[in-house]
Structure formats: C-alpha cells, structure tokens
Structure 1
Amino acid sequence: MENIYFLMILALALLATIDLIVGVSNDAVNFLNSAIGSKAISPKNIMIIASIGVLVGAITSSGMMEVARKGIFVPSQFYFNEIMYIFMAVMITDILLLDIFNTLGMPTSTTVSIVFELLGAAVAMSILKISADETKSMADIWEYINHEKALLIIFGILLSVVIAFSIGALVQFFSRIVYSFNLQEKKSYINALFGGLAITAITYFIFIKGMKGTPYYTNTKHLIEGQTLNILLMGIVVWTLISQLLISVFKVNILKIIIGVGTFSLAMAFSGNDLVNFVGVPIAAWNSFEAWSASGVPAHEFSMEILAAKVPSNPLLLILAGGVMVITLWFSKKAKTVIETGVNLSRQGDGHEKFQATQASRGLVRFGMLINAGLNLLIPEKTKKYIDTRFERPSFALSKDKSYEVPAFDMVRASINLVVAGILISVGTSLKLPLSTTYVTFMVAMGTSLADRAWGRESAVYRIAGVLSVIGGWFLTAIVAFTFSAIVAFLINLGGPSMIAILLLTVLFLITRNYIKHSQKEKEKEAKKAIKKETVDTINGVINESSDHIIQVLGRVRKLYSNVVINLADQNLDK
C-alpha cells in the first residue's frame, strides 16, 4: 500500500512541473504586459529582467502551503488517504483549467483557482464522510470546511476589480495632464520627481509584497515595520536625486528605468508569492507522506493534523521550480497569446478587435457617454480645452517596413500600470486582503487605457466586451474549479488508484491535444498576415511576396464562396 502512495507522490511531482508551465504561461501577463506593450525595452532585455525577478522571488519564497495553513479546510478532520485524494484532485483540475484558459488566451487567477479547487475537493470528501456516518448530517459540513475564507476571497475579487480600475484611471488621467503625449518636451526636474515617486513606490512594493512572509524578512523586520512614512519620504528624496543625476549627466530616459524596475518587482512578487499555488500542494503531500510513513498507522486511520501547522519546504525544490518558470517564460507560445490579449485590450488607437460587441458592452458605453455629457456641463469651457490639448497625440510618419514597431501605448502609461499595481498589491497585502495579482494588474491596465482615451467611439464597445469576457472568466474560474475538483475527488474516491491512472492519462491527452491545436492556430494566424515585416528590395522578392498574397486571398475567397453556397442551399439566413 505504501508503494501506491509513493507513486502518487511521484505523480504529484510530475503534475507540479506541468502546473508550473501552464501557470506561468497565464501569469506572465501580470509582469510582462507593460514592458512589452510600451516597447520601452528590447524583448530580450525584458525577458532577462523578468527571469532574474522570477529566480529571486523563488529563492525568497516561503514555499508554504498557504491556503491549507489558513484553513480552506480543516486538516485534522481528514485521514491521510483522504488528503492524498484531495491533493490529487486539486492538481489534476488545476492543470486542465489553466491550460484551457491559456489556449483561449484569457488571463485568470492561479490563486483563486487553487483555493476553489481545494474547497471543491474538500467539500466532496466531506460529503462522502458525512454520508458514511449515521451520526452526522449535512449541517455538520462546517466542521470540515472554513466557508468564511471562500467568502473573503470572493469579496477580494469584487473589491480589487473596482478599486484597481478606478485608481488606475484616476492616476493615469492626472499623469497625462502633467506629461501630455509630448514626452520629449518635459523639464528634467519633472521627470526626476516622477522617477523618484515611481521607483520609491516600486522598491517599497518589493519589500512589503516580495519579501514579507519569507525567512529573510525577519532579519529586516525591525527596520521596516512602523517606519513606513520615514522610508517613503527618504526614498522619494534619494531616488529623485538619483533620477536627476541619471537624466542630467548620463542622459538616461528615466521612464525606461521605471519600467525595468517595475517589471522586476512584479516578476519577483509573482514568483515569491504565487509559487506556492503550483508547488504548495505537492510539498504538503510530501510532508504528509513522510509523517504517515514514519508513524506505522494505516492510511485510513492517520489524522492529518500536521497540515494545520506551517508546512516547510526545500530551498532546492524552490530554485528548481524557479528554473522551470524561467524556461517557460522564454519558450511558451501560450504565454505570448495571453499577453497579446492584455496588450490588445489596452492599446492606443484602433486596430483589429479580438472580441465582438455585446448588448452589455453597448449599454455600458451609452451609460459612460451620459456620465461624460453630465461632467462636461460642470467643467468650464477653458478647462475642457486645456485638457483636450494635453491628450493631443503628435502625428508622425513611419515607413511601411517600420509600422509594426509602433508601441501599443507609451512609457508613461506603462510606468503608471506598474507603479499603481505595485502600490495596490502592497496595500492589500498589509491589510491582509486576498488580492490577486492578475486581477489588480489587468484592471489597472484597463483603467489607465480608458483614462488615456485609448478607447474611441469605434473601439470602446469591443474593448469593454473583452474586459467583461475576462472578468466573466474569473468568476467562471471559481465555479468550474470548485465543481470539477469536487467531481474528480468523488471519482478518485470511487475508483482509487485505477481512477487516478485513468485521469492522469486523460490530462496528458487533453494537454497534448490543446498544444497541437494552439500551434496550428498560431501557424494559421501567421499565414493570414497580408504584409510582411521585411522590406522587399528585388523584383523576385516582389513577385514572391505578391504570389503568397494572391494564394492567401484565393484560399479565403474559395472558403467564403463555399460557405455561401452551402448555407444558401441549407436556407440558413443567419450564416
């Protein structure tokens, strides 16, 4: 019997590696979106900065099974075999759920998914235990489950969505009033002061969010706690002076420095705090296995009180996990798809819209236009004209072969995205609110794009439809995670090791199939690009490129014509 549970540990280790890959592919948008969208730094340097941040975050990670320790379920109410079934159900569900979101290119929260998967599996196991005990009823389920934590998570979702969007929009509006779109005309002291404020906020975020809860924080705890105001004031003065020196003497663009430091800090915080979402369950399972195998007690009689205490981790395992995350960052095509969604919804100006307009998005646009009309009545005409001048974008011409290099948004917005997200996450952490880095960073980016007038009359309905789709996906994450994890836990309890083997084979099959489908979509997307990025200097080059375009057009015409004929024959008016 011990061999079966050891094989389950090995399976959990394999699942943890896969979960790291699919999890990072989804969460990479949190810290890469601003840098990639603004094109302030070369893609290679962005990846190097993010990779260093991820590795540092992994080293400083506490590695604890946070959600188990904080009581999503009560470990002492379960035996070892039941806990192993719960953990197996959680990991199987998490991989499938995140892989589906990655394939669709939709960012979601790994924190919320792992919490509701644990909740769903624990509820299923609790119901099975209650049904087997004649002295228990369904009213006793709260002895097994801490429902208050789930409610707190939901409250955190709603709160973070509204606050992040609102503050992001407000800060971006006033920052644009100060900066306008003519960044080159700003006085050096304005850039220096902005750099001082931004870098202070980001570095403070590194210590509060990135270091808090780690063993390294205890050594500096006495220097940080209770000294928040002094640290911030000193940081603003020091970083403003350093920024002025870099601008005046070394002619450095301080906005690039802000984006680089901000990307590092968010990558570090993601790795340091969200790493437990991927490896926390296997680490907790391994500790459970060690405690059980040393006890000599049968698996169905060994109580899992050990999980109520802090679950330690192996630093070497955390470093290896960080290495897997870095490799995924560099090579994951699905990560690029998720990032593309975030950048596309927040880009400045019109272009191809990924999402279709809905009645809800049209209604919100009309409501927003009514509010805007009401505000215009309250604002003096001179003030409105001045504000309009600050939002005028300079026009410049690009050669055909350089048009693809235009950034989705400028460096001011990218900096605000990173700074505001960092501040909100650090404040939420200090108040012990269950904020999700995905929710905060995405909604800040949406708020800043709205305030920056990136959503025009033509594009607003599509952008809002996209935002609503992503937000809807977040709530769908919680529902699907809970339901599917409960079903998987029930099936594992019913079929035992044989069912686990079947489910593992199913996971490998579905992930492989999704990977193949996603690769095919990416190839089709590349094939549909009408204009190549390279310049064409020779007659043969012109002929070859024109031939490729004609082949693509004829292929699409044939497909469209076939659809028209088929639907006409079927009398399908909609199609």
Structure 2
Amino acid sequence: MDNVLLIIVTVLLLLSILDLVVGVSNDAVNFLNSAIGSKSAPRYVIMIIASLGILLGSVFSGGMMEVARKGIFHPQEFYLMEIMVIFLAVMLTDVILLDFYNTFGLPTSTTVSLVFELLGAAVAVSLFKIANTDATLADLTQYINAGKALAIISGIFISIAVAFIAGAVTMYVTRLIFTFNYKKTFKYLGSIWGGIALTAILYFIIMKGIVDSSVFNPEFIAYIESNTLTILGLSFITLTLIFQLFISLFNFNLLKYIVLAGTFALALSFAGNDLVNFIGVFMAGLKSYQIYLTSGVPAGHLMMGELAQPVSTNAIYLVIAGAIMTITLWLSKKARTVTETEIGLARQDSGSEKFGSTSISRGIVRGALNANASIERVLPQKVKKFISSRFNVEEQHKSKKHDASFDMLRASVNLTVASILISSATSLKLPLSTTYVTFMVAMASSLSDRAWGRESAVYRVTGVLTVISGWLFTALIAFTASLVVALFLSWTGVIGIFIMIAIAVFFILKSNKIHNKKLKEETESNIPLDMKEEAVVKRCVNEVNKALRNIVVIYNETIHGLSNEDRKLLKKLNNDVEEISFETKKYKANLYHTLTQLQSDSIETGHYYVQVIDYLREIAHSLSFITKPAFDHIDNNHKGLHKDQVVELKSINYEVSALFSDITRAINEQTFDEIPDIIKKQQQVIELLNVVRKKQIKRIKNGEATTRNSNLYLGILNETKNLLLQTINLLKAERDFIVKDTEMEKDADLVVENY
C-alpha cells in the first residue's frame, strides 16, 4: 500500500507541474493584456515585471490552500484512498480541460474549474460510498460542504457583475475627465489619478497581501492594520506631489509607469489567488500521505479528519511553483493565443474580427442602439455636446501608438480596477476568478470607451458571449468530467490511474498538434504591420499560386472520387474546399489592412489587388458547387455516373489540369506574354465542355440518363466553365497588379535619378 500511495503522490506532483504550465498559459491574459495591448513598454520589459510579480505573489498564496483541502467536502468523512481518488480525478480533469481551452484561445477560470472538479469528484466518491453502504442519497450532504461550495460559486459569479459595473463606471468617468487627447489635461490632473491608482495598488497588494505571510513581523503587520487610513492618506498625498513634480519638471510619462506597476500588481494578485488552483491539490495529497506515515493506521482504515486542521504551506514549494509559472509565461505559445483573443475584443479600432455574427448579438446591439437613441432624445443638447467632445474618437490616435490596440489611459483603468478587486478577494480568502474579473473589466472599459462601434459591435458581443458561455461550460464540463473520472478510478483502482494518465497525455499531444497547425495557418495568412509593398506583392503571388494548386488538386480528386463512388474521399474534399473558402474569406477580411500597406499613390495597384481576391473567392465558390453536389449524390446512395460520362469527365479533367499548370507557371514566373495562348487553350476546353454538354442532352432525349444524374452532370460542366472563366480573370488581374506595381517602382527610381 505504501508503494501505491507513493505512486499516487508522485503522479499528483507531475500533474501539478503540468497543471501549472497549462494554467498559466490560460491565465497569463489576466495580467498581460493591458500592458501588451497598449504597448506601454517592449514585450520583454512587460514580461520581466510580470515575472517578478508572480515570484513575489507565490509566497503570499499559502492561505488559499484551505480551499483544496476542506473548502468543498468534509475530509473527516473519507478514508485515505478515497481522498486520493478525489485528488487524482481533479488533477487529471483540470489538465485536459485547461489545455483544451488554451488550444482554442479562450480564457476561462482556473478557479471555477478547480471548485467544480472538487465538487464533482467528491460527489462521485460519496455516491460510490453510499452505493456500498446502507446510506441513502439524502446522506450526500454529510460528505459535501454544500454551504461553503455555494458561497464560493456564488461569490465567483457575483464578481462578474461587480467587475463589469466597476470597470464601466470607472472608465466612463476617467474618459470624461481626460478625453482621448489626454496629454494636456494630464499635466494638471494626472498626478491625482496616479496617486489614486498607485495608492490603491499599494494598499491591496502590499498591505493586504502580507497579512498571512510569515516574511514580516506580526507587530509590524498589526501596526499597519491599526494605522491603515493614515498610511493611505500619506501615501496618496506623497505620491501625488511626487508625480506632479515629475510631470512639471521632466514631462514624466506617468501612465506608462502606472500600467507597468499595475501589471506587477495583477501578476502578484494572480499568483497569490490562483496558485492554489495548480498546486493546492498536490499539497493536500502530500499532506494526506504525511498523515498516513505518522499515524500507524492502515490506509484502508485511516479517516482523514486531520486534513481539516489548519496547516502552514512550505515556502519552498511556493517558490518552485512560482518559478515554473514564470518559465511557462516566457515560453508558452498558447499564452499568446489566449492573450490575442482578449486584446482583439477590446481593441479601439475595427478591422478583421475573430468572431462572427449571431442573431443574439445582433439583437443585443440593436436594442442597445435603440436605448441609446431614447436616452439622447431626453438629454439636453449642451450635455450631449459636452459628452461628444470628451469622447471624440478622432483624437484617439494622438494618445496611443499607431500599432497599439488601445491607449494607456484605458490600460491603467483596467489594471487598477482589476487588481483592487482581486487583491480584496485574496485578503478575504475568497477564491475569486481572476479571469472573470480582468476579462469583464476589460470588456466594460472598452464598451464605455466606445471601442465597440457600429463597425465591430456585433462581432465583439459575439466574442464576449462565446467566452462567457465557455465559462458556463467550464463549470458543467469540470463537474461532469471529474465525476466520471472519479467513478472510473474508484471502480478500476491502480490500473485506472495509468489508463487515465495515458488518456490525458493523448489529449494534450493532440491539442498541441491542433494548436501548432492553427498557429502556422494564422502566421501564413496574417500580414505584418511593417511589411513593405514589394513583400505584399510577393505574398499575393504566393497565396494565389498556393490556392490554384490546391484547387486543381481538389478538382482532379473530385472527378476521381465521383467516378469511383468514393464517399470517404468526397467527404474529405468537401472539407478541404471549406478550408479554401475560409482562407479566401480571410484574404477578403484583410483587404483594408493590406491596402494600407501599399503606397499612397498606388490606387491602380490596390484596385487590381481587390480584383484578385474577388476572383479567388469566385473560384472557391465554383469549386464548392462541384464538390458539394458530388458528395451529396454519393452520400445519398444515388446511382453513379455512366461509363461514357466518366470518360468525358476524365478528358475534361486532363485539359483543366494542363490549363491550370500553364496559369500557375505564368503567375509564378511572371511570363504574362503567354496569356493569349492560355486564353486559346481555355476556349478549347470550353468548346470541349459544350460538346460534352450536347452529348448529355442527347442522352436525356434518348432516356439514357436519370434526373438526378443529369442535374449533377450538367451542374459540374457549368461550374467547370465558370471556374475557367474566373481563373482567366484572376490571371489578368494578377498581371495588372504586378505590372502596375513594377511600373510604379520604375517611376519612383526615375524620379530619384532625376533628382
């Protein structure tokens, strides 16, 4: 039994390390998004400050460990092995669940996942105990700390409303005072805002954070608690005077340092509040094993009442955990994916959106617009004029860097409000969700800041609803999955542990593969802000060539799959076409950004680039109108093609492939003088399509073809013709795009020479 328990503790240790990695990858958004989104400093500076906050905050997190040991269930009602099953189920579920959210870039709550996983696993083990005794379901409350669990859960979800209201009101008032062009106003009032922000941060992070720390002398802590108001007042006055002096004499960029200080504070709060989510379960399992070693009682008869007693956490474990979190913060690619999701939803400018439009989001936006119109009808004209002048979004570019998602004033509001709320909860031992708080504060501030304009509101609302619905699913999935895993472990014992570890490893490897593929696709499709015009042109050529190669391959295989009635192949090709359509849609969505990369006088070049993308979209549509009907025909078990039809389609396929080969070579080598010859070949293929169409009509007249067969066949012939026409149009547009750009370069060189 000793060996089994040692194995379990070792597994818990390894899972906690893995949980630290996947957990920080998701929670990094909480303290990085404001600093990175506002470009307040180089990324490495932001990361260093956040790392220091994590390392320091990890030392202050010991008090939160109580939640994992006794916050959700009554440990005195469980035997040692039952407790270990609960802990294993929680850790296995948590690793898989958080990694899944990281893969798709969705921020979720590690606190909610922990609470519901503990609840699900405890319920499962309790049910297993009840099933093997004379107890009834009514006795479930004997094992579950229902009151504490309800308090924790309600506190977490109440924080959503509190965070949203606090963020919205603070941002609205702050913007009314400072406006978007805040530099002038900040010379006189900025020191007051800085004094308020940093005083609040110092109070909630340092003063409240050290109460449970063993680093400071108890008398020193008692002195701080008894003189809190005095210290706050002196801090505010001192900081305000210092800031005003620096602003007046040195034109001090106070907001930059508020954002960086807030990043440090929020990272510290995150480590202090959320470290329990990653290592609390392991620490509880280790404590259980230590109790067993000193008890002298067999594991099968040892009740775990001692686990409910107060316990101090070894600082070494906390520091090691903080170090792992810091290393993960620097290396994790998934952390960047999650961060980009929140920054994209909060950015001030419109553009390509990650989320689409839904009927719910459209209804919400429409209702908000109507409500806003009603309020404006009531407000006096002078009030409306004053508010409009304070929210003049045309001034926003004067207050933020050109590539920043929002300005540093909003970033400072996000960090100040979020750090105050989270630190308050930490000091009260409430496992408040840092993700919920920071996300809702960021969304509320962006709403108050009028970042959700008519161009982007629907998509931003969809994104927010997607994330929030993901939170609800977090609770449901965490509870259900942990319950199932705990039941499985209770039933299978040690063998089940190794089976579940294998399943967890499989899911993590699979999700990493999916994430790397997504990351590669996004990297290939995104155009960097600093890309030069010649690089844009080269990228366009590569994109068109890649798309045409994929299109002709899919066309060839569709004819092959239809001829052989290969349902599996046709289904795969249908999915491939959807991917091509999605890629061309992204090119279309990025048109605005791409055109801004071209020279200001390159109107003709931009015009032809728009044409290239439009024709590429049309080609993708024509291909989908070939593959989809072909798959549906075979999927519905309709009769396949006649032998004559197979022969005709293969001859068409051969000519189409040869034509596409000439087109891609002309684009790649820029030998556009071959276009007349290519057009002649296109006309020959179209003539072949006409001949084949007449043969099919003759078969219909002679009663040799069915209705469904004829509709499918004639549809393929028609869409093949459209495919060829749009491809030639694409070739001409690509020629004009490249030739016009080359002519402009020559003209520019000539101007330089003459000069």
- Name the TM tier (shorter chain): over 0.9
Equivalent-residue separation in structure 2 for 1:430 and 1:321 (angstroms)? 20
Between 1 and 2, higher relative CO (CA 8 Å, sep ≥ 6) is seen in: 1
Cα–Cα, structure 1 residues 86 and 42, in superposed 2: closer, same or farther, change >3 Å?
same
Equivalent-residue separation in structure 1 for 2:427 and 2:272 (angstroms)? 16
Equivalent-residue separation in structure 2 for 1:404 and 1:178 (angstroms)? 21
Secondary structure at the residue paired with 1:389? Answer: helix
Deviations 1:136-187 (A, max 9, x none): 1110111100112222233223321112112211111111111111123225
1:391 and 2:385 equivalent?
A: no
Of 399, 405, 410, 1:408 maps to 405
Which amino acid in the other structure matches residue 127 of structure 1? Answer: L
Secondary structure at the residue paired with 1:73? Answer: coil
Q: Is the 8 A contact 1:62 1:215 kept in 2?
A: no
Cα–Cα, structure 1 residues 243 and 100, in superposed 2: closer, same or farther, change >3 Å?
same
Secondary structure at the residue paired with 1:211? Answer: coil
Equivalent-residue separation in structure 2 for 1:404 and 1:240 (angstroms)? 26
Question: In structure 2, what is the equivalent of residue 223 of structure 1?
Answer: 223
Equivalent-residue separation in structure 1 for 2:37 and 2:550 (angstroms)? 31
Question: In structure 2, what is the equivalent of residue 509 of structure 1?
Answer: 506
Equivalent-residue separation in structure 1 for 2:45 and 2:79 (angstroms)? 49
Question: In structure 1, what is the equivalent of residue 86 of structure 2?
Answer: 86
Question: In structure 1, what is the equivalent of residue 419 of structure 2?
Answer: 422
Which amino acid in the other structure matches residue 493 of structure 1? Answer: S
Cα–Cα, structure 1 residues 557 and 179, in superposed 2: closer, same or farther, change >3 Å?
farther
Question: In structure 1, what is the equivalent of residue 542 of structure 2?
Answer: 548
Equivalent-residue separation in structure 1 for 2:526 and 2:550 (angstroms)? 12
Q: Is the 8 A contact 1:182 1:394 kept in 2?
A: no
1:519 and 2:516 equivalent?
A: yes
1:262 and 2:262 equivalent?
A: yes
Of 626, 630, 633, 1:565 maps to 626
Equivalent-residue separation in structure 1 for 2:343 and 2:37 (angstroms)? 6
Cα–Cα, structure 1 residues 250 and 531, in superposed 2: closer, same or farther, change >3 Å?
closer
Equivalent-residue separation in structure 1 for 2:426 and 2:437 (angstroms)? 12
1:473 and 2:475 equivalent?
A: no
Cα–Cα, structure 1 residues 219 and 103, in superposed 2: closer, same or farther, change >3 Å?
farther
Question: In structure 1, what is the equivalent of residue 657 of structure 2?
Answer: none
Shift of 1:343: 0.5
Shift of 1:276: 1.4
Shift of 1:428: 4.0
Question: In structure 2, what is the equivalent of residue 320 of structure 1?
Answer: 320
Of 480, 483, 496, 1:483 maps to 480
Deviations 1:7-32 (A, max 9, x none): 11111111011000000001111100
Cα–Cα, structure 1 residues 498 and 542, in superposed 2: closer, same or farther, change >3 Å?
closer
Equivalent-residue separation in structure 2 for 1:337 and 1:60 (angstroms)? 29
Shift of 1:429: 4.6
Q: Flag the structure with larger Rg.
A: 2
Cα–Cα, structure 1 residues 234 and 557, in superposed 2: closer, same or farther, change >3 Å?
farther
Q: Is the 8 A contact 1:530 1:549 kept in 2?
A: no
Equivalent-residue separation in structure 1 for 2:441 and 2:395 (angstroms)? 27
Shift of 1:507: 0.7
Question: In structure 2, what is the equivalent of residue 496 of structure 1?
Answer: 493
Q: Is the 8 A contact 1:428 1:435 kept in 2?
A: yes
Which amino acid in the other structure matches residue 551 of structure 1? Answer: N
1:245 and 2:245 equivalent?
A: yes
1:161 and 2:149 equivalent?
A: no
Cα–Cα, structure 1 residues 50 and 345, in superposed 2: closer, same or farther, change >3 Å?
same
Further displaced range: 98-107 or 158-167: 158-167
C-alpha RMSD of matched pairs (Å): 2.3
Shift of 1:379: 1.6
Secondary structure at the residue paired with 1:41? Answer: coil
Further displaced range: 465-474 or 183-192: 183-192
Cα–Cα, structure 1 residues 169 and 275, in superposed 2: closer, same or farther, change >3 Å?
same
Deviations 1:434-482 (A, max 9, x none): 4211111110100000000000113111111111111111111111111
Shift of 1:60: 3.0
Which amino acid in the other structure matches residue 378 of structure 1? Answer: V
Q: Is the 8 A contact 2:273 2:432 kept in 1?
A: no
Which amino acid in the other structure matches residue 565 of structure 1? Answer: I
Shift of 1:210: 3.4
Cα–Cα, structure 1 residues 543 and 372, in superposed 2: closer, same or farther, change >3 Å?
closer
Question: In structure 2, what is the equivalent of residue 201 of structure 1?
Answer: 200
Question: In structure 1, what is the equivalent of residue 5 of structure 2?
Answer: 5
Cα–Cα, structure 1 residues 228 and 551, in superposed 2: closer, same or farther, change >3 Å?
farther
Identify, as 1 or 2, the structure richer in helix. Answer: 2
Identity of aligned residues (%): 48
Secondary structure at the residue paired with 2:82? Answer: helix
Cα–Cα, structure 1 residues 58 and 162, in superposed 2: closer, same or farther, change >3 Å?
same
Equivalent-residue separation in structure 1 for 2:396 and 2:266 (angstroms)? 33
1:75 and 2:75 equivalent?
A: yes
Further displaced range: 558-567 or 153-162: 558-567
Q: Is the 8 A contact 1:27 1:107 kept in 2?
A: yes
Shift of 1:96: 0.6
Shift of 1:121: 0.5
Deviations 1:72-104 (A, max 9, x none): 100000011111111111100010111111111
Equivalent-residue separation in structure 2 for 1:501 and 1:544 (angstroms)? 52
Question: In structure 1, what is the equivalent of residue 607 of structure 2?
Answer: none
Shift of 1:221: 2.8
Question: In structure 1, what is the equivalent of residue 642 of structure 2?
Answer: none
Question: In structure 2, what is the equivalent of residue 146 of structure 1?
Answer: 145
> Unaligned 5+ residue runs, structure 2?
553-579, 582-619, 634-755
Shift of 1:354: 1.2
Of 436, 460, 465, 1:463 maps to 460
Equivalent-residue separation in structure 1 for 2:397 and 2:156 (angstroms)? 43
Equivalent-residue separation in structure 1 for 2:131 and 2:156 (angstroms)? 33
Question: In structure 2, what is the equivalent of residue 288 of structure 1?
Answer: 288
Shift of 1:557: 6.3
Which amino acid in the other structure matches residue 628 of structure 2? Answer: N
Which amino acid in the other structure matches residue 178 of structure 2? Answer: Y
> Unaligned 5+ residue runs, structure 1?
none
Which amino acid in the other structure matches residue 490 of structure 1? Answer: L
Equivalent-residue separation in structure 2 for 1:347 and 1:457 (angstroms)? 14
Q: Is the 8 A contact 1:258 1:415 kept in 2?
A: yes
Equivalent-residue separation in structure 1 for 2:442 and 2:401 (angstroms)? 22
Which amino acid in the other structure matches residue 195 of structure 1? Answer: G
Question: In structure 1, what is the equivalent of residue 109 of structure 2?
Answer: 109
Equivalent-residue separation in structure 2 for 1:210 and 1:526 (angstroms)? 41
Deviations 1:80-133 (A, max 9, x none): 111111111110001011111111111111111111111111111011111111
Task: State TM-score, norm by structure 1.
Answer: 0.93
Secondary structure at the residue paired with 1:225? Answer: helix
Secondary structure at the residue paired with 2:213? Answer: coil
Shift of 1:427: 4.0
Shift of 1:422: 1.9
Q: Is the 8 A contact 1:64 1:312 kept in 2?
A: no
Q: Is the 8 A contact 1:79 1:301 kept in 2?
A: yes
Which amino acid in the other structure matches residue 518 of structure 2? Answer: K
1:529 and 2:590 equivalent?
A: no
Cα–Cα, structure 1 residues 511 and 27, in superposed 2: closer, same or farther, change >3 Å?
same
Q: Superposed, which structure 2 residues align to 1:28-107 within 5 Å? A: 28-62=28-62, 65-107=65-107
Which amino acid in the other structure matches residue 36 of structure 2? Answer: I
Question: In structure 2, what is the equivalent of residue 214 of structure 1?
Answer: 213
Secondary structure at the residue paired with 2:301? Answer: coil
Shift of 1:312: 3.0
